[in-house]
Amino acid sequence: MLLRALTALLGAGLSFGSCSSTEPQPYQLVWEDDFVGAAGAAPDASNWGYDIGTDWGNAQLEWTTDRRENSALDGNGNLVITARQESFNGRNYTSARLTTAGKREFTYGRFEARIKNPIGQGIWPAFWLLGANIAEVGWPRTGEIDIMEYRGQEPTINHGSLHGPGYSAGNAITRRYTSPVPLNDDFHVFAVEWDPGEIRWYVDDQIYHLVKRGDQRGDWVFNHDFYIILNIAVGGGFVGPVGPSTTFPQQLIVDYVRVYQRPQ
């Protein structure tokens, strides 16, 4: 009976070709911030909030603020995050840590930013994703995807990393990308493509790291909403102390942040 029904449908010209395709649908832009606004203005509050405080579990030396001295638009379509050497709330450095938590959160997609990095021993900029359920499950079970993580003393090297339960901090799944030019000399595009069961890392559209579900040493926790973070840390375990030749202020300049997703 079923065979006769299928034969009749096919005879009527009904095509099932789209159902048999295994090719993923192309990504489509779903959100972006191009940081258009007057020089000195705050970034769009509907997109960005601030983590205010210090340390963040990494022995960092700065106090992150929501002051315009530490994060502002430059009037030329860029967000500028500025690390400064100054006494503030018992710390000797200030900076900013901007986040889309509670405002723009996504499950899966291509996340990219066009960034010009700072430089100097002890300067630690990053563009990364953190699980939106961190308050409920904690870190690292919430999951973390580091898209651009960079030591200011190694200006040609970007680190792409995946953190989760059983593979976090010094045991994260990490790969380094060595650029033919310093990453502080001009803008470069840093991206990940996060699909169910697979995450890929890119610098200037060159893939250099791929992790598939099952490659990790613990649970795969990359199946829920994540939010975006942009920040500069000063000091901390990843970069070590501030070097004697490091000058301030140091700036992370972001031309845009974009998120693409595949059609449902």
pLDDT in tens, 125-158: 999 999 999 999 999 999 999 999 999 999 999 9
Task: Give the model's confidence band at 166: pLDDT under 50 very low, under 70 low, under 90 confident, else very high.
Answer: very high
* Beta bridge mates, 79: 73, 254
- Answer yes or no: is pLDDT of 2 > 80: no
pTM greater than 0.75: yes
- Answer yes or no: is pLDDT of 18 > 60: no
Mean pLDDT of 177-186: 98
Could you give all domains of the chain from N- to C-terminal order, each with its CATH number?
Answer: 33-259 (2.60.120.200)
Q: Which of 95, 37, 76 is nearest to 255 (CA)?
A: 76
pLDDT tens digits for 206-225? 999 999 999 999 999 999 99
Contacts of 15 (CB under 8 A, 6+ apart): none
Average pLDDT in the chain: 92
- Answer yes or no: is pLDDT of 191 > 90: yes
Residue 62: per-residue pLDDT: 98
H helix count then E strand count, the chain: 3, 19
- Answer yes or no: is pLDDT of 13 > 80: no
CA distances for 244 relative to 55, 58, 120, 233, 241, angstroms: 21, 21, 9, 17, 9
Residues in the chain: 264
Residue 30: per-residue pLDDT: 98
Residue 25: per-residue pLDDT: 92
DSSP alpha helix (H) spans, the chain: 2-11, 17-20, 134-137
Active centre residues (catalytic):
144, 149
Rounded Cα distance, 152 and 241, in Å: 11
- Answer yes or no: is pLDDT of 203 > 90: yes
